[in-house]
Structure 1
Amino acid sequence: MDGTTASGGVSAFLRRRGLMLAVIAGLVAGIVFWLTDQTTALAVTAYLVLGVVILTTAVGMVRDLLAGRWGLDVLAVIAMIATLAVGEYIAGLIIALMLTGGEALEDLAARRATRELDRLLSRAPSFAGRVDPESGEVESIALDEVAVGDTLLVRSSEILPVDGVLLSESATIDESSVTGEPIPTHFTEGDPLLSGTVNGTASFRMRATKAAADSNYASIVALVREAVDSRAPMVRLADRYAVGFTAVALLIAVLAWILSGDPVRFAEVLVVATPCPLLIAAPVAFMGGMSSAAKLNVIIKDGGVLEVLGRIRSAAFDKTGTLTEGRADVVDILPGARSEDEVLALAAAAEQYSVHVFAQPILDAAHARGLTLPEVTAADEVATNGVRATLADGTEVRVGKPSFIEEAVGPFDRPELEGGAAAVHVSVGKEHAGVLLLSDPLRPKAGETVRRLREAGVENVALVTGDVRSTAEAVAASVGITTVHAETTPQTKVEIVGGLQPRPVLMVGDGINDAPVLAAADVGIAMAGRGATVASESASAVITSNDIRRVADVAVVSRRTVSIALQSIWVGIIISVGLMLVASFGYLPAVVGALLQEVVDLVAIVFALRALGAHRGLARAKG
């Protein structure tokens, strides 16, 4: 949201508040004139105040009509004109207060509903401590002054200002606000760090790898700003009720006038027909639903996403980084000259000295088995090939590519690999010790997510991936997906998802390579994980935790939100129609009807605010 938009929103708010205060002053004066029987003063006050409100409302109404939208304000304008025509000045002033005050109530409810979103904005870091490369002194600088390559000092409990790499030996960081992982994470020198996360108890140094505007947290803040500023299409759905609601209200009012022969009856009916409940209920419910999603680490960019998600009938998933973890893991060990445990222990001993992406998974696998690693006296990493280590007894261990191992042991048979798998060979001395097979593990809750989507009404679930068919089919079978599209390109993904039936279609991907198909789907959700994909402009929503269950959770939240919005709209309609029928028989004076309509407004708001709890009953992210 730029400064112009922000200032425009503030100006509009001030104008609305000023108009509401003017109406309050007019109503108070009108009541005084009414009690003191100053009829002329009352009429002049009513005409002045209502004239301004009618004119202001009519301008916006005409603007909507020119844009092809029939607004619900039409009834309010007719009702105010009718009260002036029949001399029900106090009732007219109450309608004006209801109309202008309703906007203020909507603002208040929306601020309450967006509290969870605003929390992200308020947490955005504003400064950084830069370390002078010559003197070593730390100076506080504005966030936008941080340049790539700067050395920064992050003190205890401070928010990391930009993305970077850890320079200190270690650090413990709370990533819960970004990834949803509740347990603080331990990092060692060279590990990548995300902006927006919170340092633990010890200060550390880091090197900036991105400017503030390009960092992870800035991307999240940008998404939140879009979410807060969006106007949900459900509001337009409420506007579409205006035609029918207006027709019914005018019909009842005209019949009451004709049958009674009293024009006052026309005004009394329209006083309780004012459509504030419809105007307020939908946007408040949708902002509440967006807040509920934010509590589950899902940032929704536009309220309209909730409406579409509530009707999803097909879903497509990418594989790598979506249904799978997007990282390597040891899935099998093929022993050669040594046993499985010996192969793993030898590999882990050497990989301690490697920065390769396969090093940590191998170490994790050895630790999981409780293996004791042989002592290494020397080690060096051979770029693009592997690691060469010397054990305490002088034996050389090699871990890496087949060609690197063959330099020490000569030619050997290489295992056939299924799609998506990778082989790490291990030698000890002149022997080929064995092979570690690594693959991308399935997310633990992927199958549960697919099942819950089907239970929520999704009829067609497909896997759309660029990986080879054998791997894709194995993953799909593991999570209960029967429709598989493998070895696809970005273009064919778009074509496949575009042809899925029934509509609407949800696409879930990693938000980088899947950007075109995320944009092509009716709703695109990006799995952000550690923040690599948060900046994707193509996704409709971003899951900032590593929990794939959030896909099903946000679908449930959307359905609940749409249901609450519709319930709130219909509650307002039913109560208003009931009051109109009572008024048509002359049992509801205009002033009383106007006061009762304020109660209807409050009832609609309370109903709509239930969307703040749309996430209740869903498990919090565990990482």
Structure 2
Amino acid sequence: MRLLVLAARHYPWVVGTLLVAAAAAVMMATPARELVPWLLGGYALVVAARSAWGMVRDLMAGTLGIDLLAVTAICATVAVGEYWAALVVVLMLTGGEALEDYAAHRARRDLTSLLSHAPERGHQIRPDGTTEDVPIADVRPGDRLVVRPHETVPVDATLVSPSGTFDESTLTGESLPVDLTVGQEVLSGAVNGSSAVTIAATRSAADSQFQQIVALVAEAAESKSRVVRLADRFAVPFTAVALGIAGTAWWLSGEAVRFAEVLVVATPCPLIIAAPVAFMAGMSRAAREGVIVKSSATLEVFHRARTVAFDKTGTLTWGRPDLTDVRPSDAFEADDVLRLAASAEQYSAHTLAASVVAGAQRRGLARSPAEHADEVTAGGVRARVDGRDVVVGKRSFVAEAVGSDIAATPLTSGELAVYVAADRTYTGALVLRDEVRPNARATIADLRRQGIRHILMLTGDAEATAQHVAAELAIDDVRAGCLPADKVAAVRAVTPRPVVMVGDGVNDAPVLATADVGIAMGARGSTAASESADVVILRDDISRVARALAVGRETVDVALQSIWFGISLSVALMLVAAFGVLPAIVGAWLQEAVDVVSILWALRAVGSRGTRGVRTAETPRAEPSRV
């Protein structure tokens, strides 16, 4: 009884239809059987009027309702006395809502699973050492929180405890727990292991990774694809064909019942439900792959994409150069040069500064505190270290501080140099290299196998460095020395289209918004890039780009297949019914079977066949602190 009440609350018209059918069946065995036609016909016409009013509202809202055939079929079957057939058509209409809800829930399950993990409160540590449960909206950067065993990390933070183990599978798809040590970044949405840990918030809840992902999921769930809108427009020719076959059958046979028999098998269900279900299923599958697709229309663009453009730094490469060599001048030792540089650079947020500091740490060199430090945009850093005036940065910047020109240190393709001076004396150069991601070449090859005809690399780096990376990845079209505006102009002009742009940094935000589809490497990347992109890759893995395109291509194929498969079956049944060999009641039940087959076909998009043949070598090194 409770289940019936629950069903009646959510789907009153389905329950009503079943109750009317049951009541009519009981009445057939009683003297009241003469009232059965009135009961069935009256109820069917009420449902038809309800659907007709819905079509009117759709037209007033600027969209075309596609229940015309069903409404016409109900009226026709009632008019010719096929009351039970009319009730089966009513069941199709009312049951379609329940079936659509189930199918959409099945397809959306993985996409919305993140929402169930969203924490609402955090255990804040008070100054006296006690804890207080507070809404996560009240947590501010710098606040210390306790995360108990198996709880979800509420905000982005750094680990205060000596170590901790976290499950980031909800965020990244990585099934293995991640071991972190004190000072490393802990992402909101990660699930703590079996021991309580202390964290220090680095962002408010609204700015944290998990809440941004939740917002992307909500945006994605509400979107509607152009192919789905195209499915709506299939209703016009399909309706015309159905009415034409039904009218011709009536005219040739002279029997009005033929008109009703044809229309009961002319369902618009493949158009109403199948295509939207396929697209929601595809977005769900992409979410399982660690890819948030903000709009289902993006999947349709993936299906047609012919050009993919990549930013270099942080996308095709790691984005944080490694220190490979220290070249001191004659009067200095290599360790002294690196220690002075790292002591000055430790106050800079620049990517190269982090690389210098990391290089010093690997060599076990202790950094000295600076009395003061100033960063000059596009130049470098000046700092007072151990009583010395240290300058670190570009050759021209350091040469200006020294007061004379500095010879450029020899570099090979892919390398760059940071120069160092102390007390107006040149002390040496640091050589760094930004390594190409190990699976970048395989990803490029996968894209070509999927039919991408043009692959382009855009970068602000020098021509020699850009060409070195391009040669390693077999990319022919390279645009070096690009400012953000140059990247935008290049993407606007590139052919063939549509064009997909992949980037990660703040300077990529304009070009991601300009491309037909922008993909942001958002796992550790820029919030600005993620917000301007159409797709956000949650994992620091370039191979997810190829996976995303594969999912999009198969999803559109499945959506169109479900439409044409359902329509083809319906047309075949209409032609059979036109010859009078398919009674209305039998045709109505056969059409229900067509509806189920169309929806099950659409749900194939939930599967993983689209990634077969896509090489997805995982990124072999964890980089929790990379910029």
Quickly name the TM-score band, shorter chain normalised: 0.7 to 0.9
> Which of 242, 248, 253 pairs up with 1:249?
242
CA contact (8 A) 1:422 1:438 kept: yes
Alignment-derived partner of residue 43 in structure 1: 37
Report the Cα offset of residue 94 of structure 1: 0.7
* Residue of 185, 191, 199 corresponding to 1:192: 185
Q: What residue is the counterpart of 1:85 in the other structure? A: 79
TM-score normalized by the length of structure 1: 0.85
Match of 1:120 among 114, 132, 141: 114
RMSD: 3.8
User: In the alignment, is the contact (CA less than 8 A) between 1:464 and 1:484 conserved in 2?
Assistant: yes
Deviation of 1:331 (Å): 4.4
Which residue number in structure 2 is paired with residue 461 of structure 1? 455
User: For the residues of structure 1 that align with 2:548 and 2:383, how far apart are their CA atoms?
Assistant: 43
Distance 1:264 1:127 in 2: 65
Q: 1:581 to 1:50 in 2, by over 3 A?
A: same
Among 100, 104, 109, which residue is 1:106 paired with?
A: 100
Are 1:571 and 2:556 matched, yes or no? Answer: no
Q: 1:190 to 1:437 in 2, by over 3 A?
A: same
Give the deviation of 1:338 after TM superposition. 12
Match of 2:440? 446
Please show how residues 266-345 of structure 1 align to structure 2 within 5 Å.
266-332=259-325, 334=327, 343=334
- Following superposition, the deviation at residue 104 of structure 1 comes to 0.9
- SS at structure 1 position matched to 2:536: strand
- Conserved 8 A contact 1:344-1:362: no
1:116 alignment partner, SS class: coil
Distance (Å, rounded) in 2 between the aligned partners of 1:490 and 1:425: 26
Letter in 1 for 2:584: A
Give the C-alpha shift of residue 405 in structure 1.
13
Structure 2 residue 569 is matched with structure 1 residue 587: no
- Separation in 2 of the partners of 1:191 and 1:353? 22
1:417 is displaced (CA, Å) by 6.0
Conserved? CA contact 1:349–1:374, under 8 Å: no
Any idea what the Cα deviations from partners look like across 1:387-443, whole Å, max 9, x if unmatched?
A: 979xxxxxx9x99668999999x9975516689854356899xx9996431132222
SS in structure 1 at match of 2:531 = coil
| Contact 1:314 1:460 survives alignment (8 Å) | yes
Say whether the 8 Å CA contact 2:103–2:603 is kept in structure 1.
yes
Range moving further from structure 2, 346-355 or 23-32: 346-355
Partner of 1:210: 203
1:6 corresponding residue in structure 2: none
Per-residue deviation, 1:291: 1.1
Q: Decide whether aligned partners of structure 1 residues 493 and 434 sit closer, same or farther in structure 2, where only a CA change above 3 A counts.
A: closer
Match status 1:602 vs 2:596: yes
- What is the aligned partner in structure 2 of residue 232 from structure 1? 225
State the Cα deviation string for residues 94-117 of structure 1 (Å, max 9, x = none). Answer: 111111111211110111111111
CA contact (8 A) 1:313 1:459 kept: yes
Aligned partners of 1:227 and 1:560: how far apart in 2? 18
Q: Aligned pair 1:167/2:160, yes or no? A: yes
Paired with 1:349 and 1:361, the residues of 2 have a C-alpha distance of: 14
Q: Supply the distance in 2 between the matched residues of 1:379 and 1:514 (Cα, whole angstroms).
A: 35
Residue 501 of structure 2 corresponds to 507
Q: Deviations over 1:536-591 (max 9, x none)?
A: 33211110001111111111111111111111111111111111111111111111
- C-alpha deviations, 1:516-550, integer Å up to 9, x for none? 22222211111112254388332111100011111
Paired residues of 1:419 and 1:467 also in contact (CA < 8 A): no
Contact 1:94/1:591 (8 A) holds in 2: yes
Q: State the SS of the aligned residue for 2:596.
A: helix
Please state whether the residue corresponding to 2:206 is helix, strand or coil: helix
1:293 Cα deviation (Å)? 0.6
Amino acid at match of 2:190: T
Shift of 1:132: 0.8
| Amino acid in the other structure paired with 2:266 | A
> Which runs of 5 or more residues in structure 2 are unaligned?
1-6, 374-380, 623-627
Match of 1:29 among 16, 20, 23: 23
How far apart are the structure 1 equivalents of 2:383 and 2:413? Answer: 22
User: 164, 170, 175: which one pairs with 1:177?
Assistant: 170
SS in 1 for 2:489: helix
Unpaired runs of at least 5, structure 1? 1-12, 390-395
Whole-Å separation in 2 of the counterparts to 1:423 and 1:314: 33
Q: Tell me the distance in 1 between the aligned counterparts of 2:557 and 2:493.
A: 28
Amino acid at match of 1:273: A
* Residue equivalent to 1:138: 131
Give the alignment's TM-score, normalised by structure 2. 0.84
Contact 2:413 2:468 in 1 (8 A): no
Within the candidate set 481, 486, 490, 1:492 is matched to 486
Q: Could you list the per-position Cα deviations for residues 189-219 of structure 1 after superposition, in whole angstroms to 9, with x for gaps in the alignment?
A: 4433321122334433222222211211100
Contact 2:339 2:365 in 1 (8 A): no
Question: Which SS does the other structure have where 1:315 is aligned?
Answer: strand
Residue of structure 1 equivalent to 2:66: 72
Greater Cα offset, 74-83 or 185-194: 185-194
- Is the Cα contact below 8 Å between 1:149 and 1:208 reproduced in 2? yes
Q: Distance in 2 between matches of 1:406 and 1:447?
A: 41
Q: Is the 8 A contact 1:420 1:468 kept in 2?
A: no
Identity, % of aligned positions: 48
How far apart, CA to CA, are the structure 2 residues paired with 1:427 and 1:191?
31
Could you tell me whether the CA contact under 8 Å between 1:220 and 1:534 is conserved in 2? no
Partner AA of 1:266 in structure 2: F
Q: Cα distance 1:374–1:499, how it changes in 2: closer, same or farther (>3 A)?
A: closer
* Residue type of the alignment partner of 1:444: P
